[in-house]
Amino acid sequence: MKKKIFLITCALSMITVASASASSINLEQKPTEASKNVVPMDVPTGYGAMGWQWPTTVTTLSDPFGWTGRRFHKGIDVLVYKQDVYATADGEVIGVGKYGNGTEYVTIKHDDKAIEPGKTNNNLISRYLHLTKDSQKVSTYQRVSKGQNIAVSGNTGAATGGKDNNYHLHLDINNVAKDLPADNETIDPMLFYPNQLSSFKMDGNASNDKELHLYEDEEHSFDVSMMNHVGKEKFDAWFDNLQPHERTRTAFKQHFNISDQLLNEILKKNDIRKR
């Protein structure tokens, strides 16, 4: 009993000391321009301050967010086989189902809003793609909580769904409250996880020469442009013959004898950036 009282007294006096010194600092020191911009390393700001949850227990990425050559990857790919997928934050399910190419998905409209100027009225949207067929545990308009199990990851929408390859979870987040965001409307999901960055690693195979992720997304991508050029049958034959990490742009160009110049012409013709 005595010990407890002593501890409480200690704690109280520490708080008193802390608040006293804090207020005296405020009174005596006017912040300079430089000190105003100093942000402590362990205090997340912006999207990092929202406390979003990572969507799986795996932290290996096979493909980061952003440009690779002419292909813009709208989200991140987490190298995960079949595992529970968790809602990254509280919100409402606005989409559950299958895109035309077979990609099974869940889309959540979050309570958290975008922070970019002019977009602060927009709810943030997260999408989870390539889920195992019919594994979704939520339905449209349902409220979900951060960390709630919403589905199982998988490889749906890949060239030949059902094969034991191409398993990954694609997560993308946008700031325009859209189910199918344009390239420039997505946000790097890693901005939401600043305190966990040290635990993430990239898979070596995917780090320099990108894998072709056929039907990664609903809209036409680099991969679809190439398929249009060589024909679906030939493309599939090449694709199915290789392990995921072997399906690189370099390998594709060599196999079909496509020069950089021709590659650019194909992309121009298919105009992958037009929406």
CB of 172 to Zn ion, least distance (A): 7
Which CA distances in Å does 232 have to 214, 229, 240?
11, 8, 12
Per CB under 5 A, which region of 165-173, 200-208, 237-245, 256-264 contacts Zn ion? 165-173
The CB-nearest residue to Zn ion is 170
Q: Concatenated DSSP letters for 234-269?
A: HHHHHHHTS-GGG-BHHHHHHHTT--HHHHHHHHHH
Cβ proximity of 202 and 208 under 8 Å: no
CB of 94 to Zn ion, least distance (A): 20
Phi, psi (deg, nearest 5) at residue 159: -50, -50
**Closer residue to Zn ion in complex, CB, 45/208:** 208
**Closer residue to Zn ion in complex, CB, 77/223:** 77
**Closer residue to Zn ion in complex, CB, 44/95:** 95
Per rule CB under 5 A, count of chain residues that contact Zn ion: 2
CB of 268 to Zn ion, least distance (A): 24
Interaction pattern, residues 67-86, with Zn ion; x per rule: CB under 5 A: ----------x---------
CA distance linking residue 53 with residue 88, whole number of Å? 5
Cα-based angle 62, 64, 67 (whole degrees, multiple of 5): 130
Q: Is 131 exposed, middle or buried (0-12, 13-18, 19+ CB in 10 A)?
A: buried
Residue 110 touches Zn ion, criterion: CB under 5 A:
no
User: By 3-state DSSP, what share of the chain in percent is helix, strand and coil, each rounded to 5?
Assistant: 35, 25, 45
**Closer residue to Zn ion in complex, CB, 112/172:** 172
The single residue among 110, 170, 229, 247 that binds Zn ion, judged by CB under 5 A, is: 170
**Closer residue to Zn ion in complex, CB, 79/150:** 79
Judged by the rule CB under 5 A, the positions of this chain that interact with Zn ion are 77, 170
